[in-house]
């Protein structure tokens, strides 16, 4: 029975690249200086959380269900169960550095048995490159590698600038988790291994081309990194010794359901050669995937197709076998100019990844570094795999499942070019809250109802802080979307309701990033009940709780200086994954859904979002003109 409770608790494993509200400033000082002085994540007051919880249910459940939940909450708060679990949580908060982070890592990632591909690993699409030949691809990849190594130097010397939000330093721990780390599958729970912790630091990256993996040493014996030219020469050697396209795609095994991959993994590493090859991939600083060209498509479809390629590789016959999806960081450089990355989400959220992307893109824009003297470098080691009939069967099964996943994922990237965050600033509205209200309006117009909406927010103001959720669907957002659809309403009234909804969203955001969110507090109370081995409180078995946790809209703002697109899969079978990057004069929005759900359609939702944004701009401008 406990297993049922655990699985129910882990349905909350909804993890998306997170956002930080307002802009983050970087101050050049040692990044660990403030780490010890960071406050601990608080446990919010019990009564406050349940007042907010009931308010969040109003727009998404029936009056009858809400009345039933009110009784359950009253019982939970007055019957002593709530207080007992709250005290347990407070004890845990006193004893640990962060009461939530370990539980969150387990429930959102390591216990989650869905494939990391599409379901939890986000992709990033970088601006398209126009390579005229494969030397262009190699040159780009070499500069990219050099840029990441330059970033790594700041990590190694702890000179990474500290990030500040509202004058407060943020936890920088996640930056130290993204290099030389890898997820390891287990039969029931995965683990993450970080190879920077130890006596000997890793000095190689892995490069994969035509499904063949290579170890590329990126440091000389004196500890200095290889130059761009030297990396380029090594990549040429790799390319020339992996021209065969008939190799078994070992990497595709990592795209499987975690239990399936856990068993296949144990089977794969029974062989000593295979075990050594797998360890070399896991220990590498990061992976570079040199992708084969994909079928040509129109410019209109380009971003959507490449977003899908970053998430899953395009299918077994394309580049899905050219990956090791368990690796934290995989940079993708296609022969056809497509480039970006995919990252395994367990060690870190979006902001450290995006900071790294911005840093590397800026590094690559520098003029070519001075030519270096050519010293003879050893041939990069090709990793060997012995493919037994059993491993071959596992690969065939993985190919089939991956292709099903590829056909099921519906991706639409909306490059919204009419305006960006400067418009909302002119009207003194929060750009993030404005975009969230557009999602609410788009959804309401398509389905004539509201749904539970998840927006990720960062808890990095606290030591080892990860994320919490902003509930973007509120009574105020509901009133606004209803008014927009009611022809009897005047624009002045609609604008007032929009301003109220935006204000409410800003207040919620402030509370969440200051450790007063409700989603993770509820998860904590639930996990505490599981740890105490007591019966699960009825509020967590309630229909309202199931509705609140079924996030049809899973959203995240990932602000990047680079004009890139981040994307991730939906959180539920009948939902949408929506990731957006608001720039000054345009907004990049990636929308995903599943084709297996008849009710959802990424392109239709993208059109509804575009219409909503334009109608909301018209509302702002019409009322401004009327005032004049």
Distances (CA, A) of 238 to 216, 241, 242, 495, 541: 9, 5, 6, 60, 55
d(CA 160, CA 571): 33
369: left (phi over 0), alpha (psi -120 to 50) or beta: beta
d(CA 401, CA 389): 19
d(CA 276, CA 381): 12
d(CA 7, CA 10): 5
**Looking at the DSSP assignment, which residues form a beta bridge with residue 458?**
467
Q: What is the dihedral of CA 403, 407, 409, 412, to 10 degrees?
A: 130
Contact between 401 and 255 under an 8 Å Cβ cutoff? The reply is yes
Neighbours of 458 (CB within 10 A): 25
> Catalytic site residues?
345
The SS3 of residue 331 is: strand
Residue environment code for 591-602, b if the CB has 16+ CB neighbours within 10 A, otherwise e: bbbbeebeebbb
Distances (CA, A) of 363 to 131, 142, 149, 356, 588: 19, 12, 11, 10, 23
The residue ranges of DSSP E strands in 486-613, in sequence order, are 553-557, 565-567, 576-582, 587-594
What are the two backbone dihedrals, phi and then psi, of residue 284, each rounded to the nearest 5 degrees? -60, 155
DSSP assignment of 141-199, as one string?
HHHHHHHHHHHHHHHHTT-PPEEEETTEE---GGGGTSSSEEEE--SS--EEEETTSSS
The 3-class SS string of 413-432 reads EEEECCCCHHHHHHCCCCHH
Nearest to 380 by CA among 547, 499, 203: 203
Mode of pairing for the β-strands spanning 287-291 and 204-209:
parallel
Nearest to 480 by CA among 513, 508, 442, 512: 442
d(CA 9, CA 527): 7
Contact between 289 and 242 under an 8 Å Cβ cutoff? The reply is no
DSSP state letter for 323: -
């Amino acid at each position: 029975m406990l297993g049922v409770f655990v699985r129910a608790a882990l349905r909350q494993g909804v993890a998306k690249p997170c956002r930080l509200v307002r802009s983050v400033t970087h101050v050049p000082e040692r990044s660990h200086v403030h780490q010890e002085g960071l406050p601990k994540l608080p446990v919010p007051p019990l009564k406050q959380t349940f007042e907010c919880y009931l308010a969040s249910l109003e727009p998404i459940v029936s009056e009858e269900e809400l009345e039933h939940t009110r009784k359950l909450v009253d019982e939970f708060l007055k019957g002593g169960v709530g207080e007992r679990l709250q005290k347990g949580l407070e004890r845990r908060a006193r004893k640990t550095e962060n009461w939530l982070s370990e539980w969150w890592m387990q429930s959102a990632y390591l216990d989650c048995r869905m494939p990391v591909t599409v379901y939890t690993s986000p992709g990033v699409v970088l601006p398209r490159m126009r390579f005229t030949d494969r030397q262009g691809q190699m040159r780009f990849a070499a500069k990219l590698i050099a840029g990441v190594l330059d970033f790594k130097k700041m990590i190694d010397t702890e000179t990474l600038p500290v990030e500040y939000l509202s004058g407060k330093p943020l936890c920088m721990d996640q930056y130290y988790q993204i290099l030389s780390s890898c997820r390891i599958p287990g039969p029931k729970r995965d683990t993450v291994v970080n190879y920077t912790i130890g006596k000997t630091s890793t000095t190689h990256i892995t490069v994969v081309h035509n499904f063949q993996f290579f170890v590329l040493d990126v440091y000389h014996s004196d500890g200095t990194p290889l130059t761009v030219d030297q990396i380029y020469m090594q990549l040429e050697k790799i390319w020339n010794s992996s021209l065969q396209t008939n190799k078994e795609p070992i990497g595709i095994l990592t795209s499987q359901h975690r239990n399936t991959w856990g068993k296949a993994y144990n089977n794969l590493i029974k062989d000593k050669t295979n075990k050594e090859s797998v360890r070399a991939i896991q220990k590498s600083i990061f992976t570079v995937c040199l992708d084969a060209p994909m079928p040509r498509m129109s410019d209109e479809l380009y971003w959507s197709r490449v977003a899908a390629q970053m998430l899953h590789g395009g299918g077994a016959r394309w580049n899905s076998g050219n990956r090791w999806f368990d690796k934290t960081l995989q940079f993708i450089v296609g022969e056809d100019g497509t480039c970006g990355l995919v990252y395994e989400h367990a060690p870190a959220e979006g902001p450290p990844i995006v900071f790294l992307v911005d840093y590397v893109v800026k590094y690559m824009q520098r003029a070519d570094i001075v030519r270096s003297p050519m010293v003879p470098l050893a041939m990069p080691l090709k990793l060997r795999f012995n493919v037994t009939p059993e491993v071959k069967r596992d690969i065939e099964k993985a190919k089939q499942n991956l292709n099903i996943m590829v056909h099921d994922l519906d991706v639409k990237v909306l490059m919204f070019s009419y305006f960006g965050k400067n418009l909302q600033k002119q009207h003194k509205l929060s750009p993030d809250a404005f975009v969230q209200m557009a999602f609410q309006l788009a959804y309401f117009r398509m389905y004539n109802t509201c749904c539970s909406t998840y927006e990720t927010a960062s808890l990095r103001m606290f030591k080892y802080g990860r994320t919490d959720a902003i509930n973007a669907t509120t009574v105020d957002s509901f009133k606004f979307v209803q008014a927009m659809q009611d022809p009897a309403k005047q624009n002045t009234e609609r604008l007032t309701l929009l301003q109220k909804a935006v204000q409410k969203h800003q207040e919620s955001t402030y509370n969440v990033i200051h450790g007063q969110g409700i989603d993770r507090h509820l998860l904590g109370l639930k996990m505490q009940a599981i740890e105490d081995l007591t019966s699960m409180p009825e509020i967590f078995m309630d229909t309202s709780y199931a509705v609140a946790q079924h996030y049809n809209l899973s959203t995240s703002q990932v602000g990047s200086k680079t004009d890139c697109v981040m994307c991730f899969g939906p959180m539920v079978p009948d939902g949408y994954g929506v990731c957006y990057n608001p720039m000054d004069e345009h907004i990049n929005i990636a929308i995903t859904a599943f084709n297996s759900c008849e009710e959802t359609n990424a392109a239709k939702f993208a059109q509804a979002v575009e219409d909503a944004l334009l109608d909301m701009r018209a509302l702002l401008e019409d009322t401004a003109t009327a005032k004049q």
